[in-house]
């Protein structure tokens, strides 16, 4: 299911969703209309490596914020698990629980791995109008860096500049 041909690509409207961010709070993609959103799908909380993908993004949040972009992490873990993970890794961005029905959002974005029962490592940059502007499915076992995200955000900024 994590075949690159199935991942939603640039130009596609990003499917809206509402997911738990804490046990008693939800967020919707549409809440962020008007500003870019980075969606970072990842397999599971508590991966055994330090300095990994989410730790890296956490470290460079200010770079994303320069582009007024909001970073949202998504995995199939529950919001309770996300809470423990975020506090353990000192993550300063929301982690969404694609928990019930499991992986439903990952499936709609074409990045669910049926066999493993988790999302793939996949990235989407969505513009302020809710259109996917860039997407990337990382090969299994390889963390994507942030270079592609930053390029996509810069591209968005330059288009916004051209329009203005």
Binds other proteins by CB under 8 A, chosen from 22, 155, 157, 160 = 155
Q: Give the CA-trace dihedral at 55, 137, 20, 45, to 10 degrees.
A: -40
Asked whether position 142 contacts other proteins by CB under 8 A, the answer is: yes
Residue 15: Cβ-neighbour burial (10 angstroms; 0-12, 13-18, 19+): middle
Output 58 or 78, the one with its CB closest to other proteins. 58
Q: Which of 24, 49, 50, 115 is catalytic?
A: 50
> What DSSP string describes 86-152?
HHHHT--S-EEE-BTTBTHHHHHTT-EETTTTEE-SEEEEE-TTSBEEEEEEPPTT----SHHHHHH
Binds other proteins by CB under 8 A, chosen from 50, 115, 162, 164 = 50
> What is the smallest separation between the CB atom of 57 and other proteins, expressed in angstroms?
10
Asked whether position 136 contacts other proteins by CB under 8 A, the answer is: yes
Nearest to 99 by CA among 26, 33, 13, 9: 26
Output 55 or 128, the one with its CB closest to other proteins. 55
Asked whether position 59 contacts other proteins by CB under 8 A, the answer is: yes
Asked whether position 93 contacts other proteins by CB under 8 A, the answer is: no
The answer to whether 42 touches 75, Cβ cutoff 8 Å, is yes
Which single residue is written with the structure tokens 């990337």? 136
Window 1-30: residues binding other proteins (CB under 8 A) = 10
Is 50 an annotated catalytic residue? yes
Asked whether position 144 contacts other proteins by CB under 8 A, the answer is: yes
Which single residue is written with the structure tokens 């200010």? 62
Site residues, other proteins (CB under 8 A): 10, 49-53, 55-56, 58-60, 63, 89-90, 133-134, 136, 139, 142-148, 150-152, 155
């Amino acid at each position: 299911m994590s075949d690159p041909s199935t991942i939603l690509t640039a130009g596609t409207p990003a499917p809206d969703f509402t997911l738990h961010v804490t046990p008693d709070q939800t967020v919707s993609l549409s809440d962020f209309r008007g500003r870019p959103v980075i969606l970072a799908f990842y397999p599971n909380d508590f991966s055994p490596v330090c300095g990994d993908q989410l730790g890296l993004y956490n470290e460079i949040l200010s770079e994303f914020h320069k582009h007024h972009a909001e970073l949202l992490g998504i995995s199939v873990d529950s919001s309770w698990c996300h809470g423990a993970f975020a506090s353990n890794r000192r993550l300063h961005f929301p982690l969404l629980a694609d928990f019930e029905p499991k992986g439903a959002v990952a499936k709609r974005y074409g990045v669910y791995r049926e066999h493993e029962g988790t999302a793939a490592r996949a990235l989407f940059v969505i513009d302020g109008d809710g259109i996917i502007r860039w997407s990337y499915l990382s090969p299994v076992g390889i963390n994507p860096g942030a270079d592609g995200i930053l390029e996509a955000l810069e591209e968005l900024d330059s288009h916004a500049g051209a329009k203005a």
